Amino acid sequence: MTSQVDTVELIVEIRDRYGVPRTVMNFSSLQLPHKLAEAIRDCFEALTGQNSVETRRQVWRCIRKFSKFLTETESEIALPMRPDVLVRFRNWLAGQNLGGSTCQSHFNEVRRALLWINRNSDLILHTNTVFSVPAFVRAEPEDARPLDREAIKQVLAACYAEIDQVHARMNRGRRVLAGEDLTIDERGLHVLLFKLLNIGKGVIPSQKSLKGKGISMKEINHHGGLRNLWKLISPSAADVFPFYLAILAQCSGNPMSIRNMSRDCIRAHPLREDRRSLVWLKERSNREQIADFSVKRPRSAPILVGELLEINGRLVKHMSPSERNLLFLSNGNSRPSVPCMQLLHVLLDAFISRHNLASFDFKQLRKAGAALHFRVSNDIQVPRSRLNHRSSKTTFSYIASNEVTQENDRLINRFQGELVAQSTTTSSRLTEKVELSQIDSGDTKNSSTVFGFGCKDPYAGVWPGSVSGKMCMKFTSCATCPGAIVVLDDIRVVARLIKSSTELKSARQRAMEEGWMERFNALYDGVQKIIDEELLARTNPMMIEKAKSLIGYISLPTLE
């Protein structure tokens, strides 16, 4: 991917891998002093030249937000800029009715740009510019309702209902074009469509292209307008969307990778005639992804791909070389294209509202697919294969944030851990002196884990997906393991649990501030709930008070 720069008009073209311009950005249009606009342009090229089209577009949106701030708050933008420019930008963002995470994302990109300009350009920033600005408070993300089997069925049913509507409309378009069983009104539509397709060389032309062509807008409006006419011939982005969502849900793929799925994605199964494989490229890792499906199911992903190839095939020859072989071609407002991720998110919101579904995001479909495959098989290798992960550890992060977290209470109630002793301590035991040197000694027959649990054998391969003879990959999440040993009348164990609870709460706060809550939830959220709600809640309060005096002597590794 390359960019071309016009040093006079400060134009940057974001080009794809084929050299085709995808977005044209005019830095001169930012209404900033030329020297500042030029510095921002140079900074943009230096910092984002290697990034994807979508990433560069997002940075451009952040730059425009900064430009809007400057033009709204300063009658005249003088250089060098005021030393408190970032402080004022932060305060301005805070009043823009945006979420804390969104504000922080905009601020981070602008701060990064100004740091580059400070290093590489003179007389743009004040020598005393303040770069240390407090971060936005990120609200703790609400726990999204996990997409269970029933929720996935509802999503797919809504997709199939909309796909049927698309087929019905486009079948009518084909019938009218073919001149079959025409009504009186459709006879005029038949003639009109042929005229329009002849002018547009296979597609419905724009209104501007119709000037002087002998076709009245009155006639076009009689049949619903140009937009409805071209939706009879080729699908819009909204028409393609239910196909995309259904295929994404069935493949459990990455949203961007599925969006870039090619038209030749269907492969024959090497062993079975009743199955087909869908293959697509995950560009970030440059690895081919694959998922198998039965073709006997009328709504399986390969069948949907075949239907989509048929209804948008007319658009292929009108596409740019970079998009010609992509699957999700649609008729856009100005030209045929593949819907960008931003538009797909907008279409998702409308889809959810239209069908009265619980709110969800594209990424949740991938996690839901992992959880459902794990629930059916109870074998980590099944979702690992479906998600095309190299390592089971990666798959476990998907399972942990969905399936395992949901099942924590059930597992505890079934004594999934080997709870050797409950809080049956007598008052005489509570007053027993404990040597501080023994706090971390523990029972030599078991292995002491990070959060105070014991383990019968961390090399036994007890946890699903672990391999016998190798260290258990869930050695920091033993609350959900059937090999866990928790002795709640041992003051050393209780002290470590209290310390662990404190450290986890601190890590949660850091995760919110630094933007890695998804990772925290995947690794630690289930453990924290078990420690606080199951273990410490069942521990004798007198034991907890006694153990608090020892937590200063407990050391835990830094949680990241």
Half-sphere exposure of 23 (CA within 13 A, CB side): 15
Residue type, 531: I
Q: CB-based burial of residue 24 (10 Å sphere; 0-12 exposed, 13-18 middle, 19+ buried)?
A: exposed
CB 207 within 8 A of CB 229: no
- Return the C-alpha torsion angle 312, 227, 339, 341, nearest 10: -150
**Percentage of residues in the chain with pLDDT exceeding 70?**
78
Six token digits for residue 307 = 């239907």
What confidence score (pLDDT) does residue 508 get? 84
Instruction: Say if residue 27's pLDDT is above 80.
Output: yes
What confidence score (pLDDT) does residue 319 get? 84
What residues does each domain of the chain span?
3-120, 407-553
Q: How far apart are CA 365 and CA 84, in angstroms?
A: 43
More confident position, 308 or 448: 308
Instruction: Say if residue 160's pLDDT is above 90.
Output: yes
3-state secondary structure of 333: coil
CB 118 within 8 A of CB 75: no
Q: Where would I find the H helices in 355-387?
A: 362-377, 381-386
pLDDT, tens digit (0-9, with 9 covering 90-100), for 364-412: 888 888 888 877 776 777 778 787 887 777 777 777 554 454 544 444 4
Residues 6+ apart with CB under 8 A from 429: 489
Residues 6+ apart with CB under 8 A from 457: 447, 483
Instruction: Say if residue 211's pLDDT is above 60.
Output: yes
Dihedral sign of CA atoms 518, 522, 524, 525 in order: positive
What confidence score (pLDDT) does residue 283 get? 74
Q: CB-based burial of residue 81 (10 Å sphere; 0-12 exposed, 13-18 middle, 19+ buried)?
A: buried
Instruction: Say if residue 477's pLDDT is above 70.
Output: no
What confidence score (pLDDT) does residue 108 get? 93
DSSP letters of 63-128? HHHHHHHHHHH-SS--SSBPTTHHHHHHHHHHTSS--HHHHHHHHHHHHHHHHHHHHH-SSSB-TT
- Mean pLDDT, rounded, for 166-193: 89
More confident position, 316 or 522: 316
Half-sphere exposure of 368 (CA within 13 A, CB side): 21
What confidence score (pLDDT) does residue 502 get? 86
With bands split at pLDDT 50, 70 and 90, how would you rate the model's confidence at 446? very low
What confidence score (pLDDT) does residue 459 get? 61
CB 489 within 8 A of CB 423: yes
What confidence score (pLDDT) does residue 122 get? 86
- Mean pLDDT, rounded, for 102-131: 92
* Three-point CA angle 264, 266, 269, nearest 5°: 140
Q: How far apart are CA 458 and CA 478, in angstroms?
A: 10
Instruction: Say if residue 454's pLDDT is above 80.
Output: no
DSSP 8-state secondary structure symbol assigned to residue 486: E
With bands split at pLDDT 50, 70 and 90, how would you rate the model's confidence at 189? confident
pLDDT, tens digit (0-9, with 9 covering 90-100), for 86-102: 999 999 999 998 888 88
pLDDT, tens digit (0-9, with 9 covering 90-100), for 322-376: 788 999 999 876 678 889 888 999 999 999 999 999 889 998 888 888 888 877 7
Distances (CA, A) of 194 to 74, 200, 335: 56, 10, 19
Distances (CA, A) of 375 to 131, 292, 464, 477, 529: 49, 19, 12, 19, 21
Q: How far apart are CA 307 and CA 514, in angstroms?
A: 44
Q: How far apart are CA 401 and CA 146, in angstroms?
A: 9
Q: Which of 136-140, 181-185, 443-447, 473-477 has the lowest mean pLDDT?
A: 443-447
Q: How far apart are CA 535 and CA 499, in angstroms?
A: 13
What confidence score (pLDDT) does residue 210 get? 80
Six token digits for residue 305 = 């791909």
**Percentage of residues in the chain with pLDDT exceeding 90?**
30
Residues 6+ apart with CB under 8 A from 358: 145, 151, 352
**b vs e for 390-423, b when ≥16 Cβ sit within 10 Å of the residue's Cβ?**
eebeebbbbbbbbbbbebbeebbeeebbbbeeeb
Instruction: Say if residue 144's pLDDT is above 60.
Output: no
Q: How far apart are CA 57 and CA 406, in angstroms?
A: 37
Instruction: Say if residue 556's pLDDT is above 50.
Output: yes
- Mean pLDDT, rounded, for 171-183: 88
Q: Where would I find the H helices in 127-204?
A: 149-178, 184-199
Q: CB-based burial of residue 231 (10 Å sphere; 0-12 exposed, 13-18 middle, 19+ buried)?
A: buried
Instruction: Say if residue 440's pLDDT is above 50.
Output: no
Residue 117: name the closest of 46, 65, 56, 40 by CA. 40
What confidence score (pLDDT) does residue 389 get? 81
Instruction: Say if residue 166's pLDDT is above 80.
Output: yes
**Token pair 């004798």 in the structure block, residue:** 540
Q: Which of 11-25, 173-187, 322-336 has the lowest mean pLDDT?
A: 11-25
pLDDT, tens digit (0-9, with 9 covering 90-100), for 251-309: 999 999 999 999 999 999 888 888 999 999 887 677 888 999 998 999 999 999 999 99
What confidence score (pLDDT) does residue 402 get? 46
What confidence score (pLDDT) does residue 357 get? 93
Rounded to the nearest integer, the mean pLDDT of the chain is 79
With bands split at pLDDT 50, 70 and 90, how would you rate the model's confidence at 517? confident
State if pTM tops 0.85.
no
DSSP 8-state secondary structure symbol assigned to residue 553: G
Dihedral sign of CA atoms 260, 266, 270, 273 in order: positive
Residues 6+ apart with CB under 8 A from 273: none
CB 318 within 8 A of CB 203: yes
With bands split at pLDDT 50, 70 and 90, how would you rate the model's confidence at 84? very high
With bands split at pLDDT 50, 70 and 90, how would you rate the model's confidence at 415? very low
Instruction: Say if residue 5's pLDDT is above 60.
Output: no
What confidence score (pLDDT) does residue 559 get? 59
Instruction: Say if residue 444's pLDDT is above 70.
Output: no
CB 54 within 8 A of CB 340: yes
DSSP letters of 237-300? HHHHHHHHHHHHHHHT--HHHHHT-BTT-EEE-SS-TTEEEEEEEETTTTEEEEEEEETTSTTS
pLDDT, tens digit (0-9, with 9 covering 90-100), for 145-158: 668 889 999 999 99
Q: How far apart are CA 320 and CA 297, in angstroms?
A: 34
What confidence score (pLDDT) does residue 263 get? 93
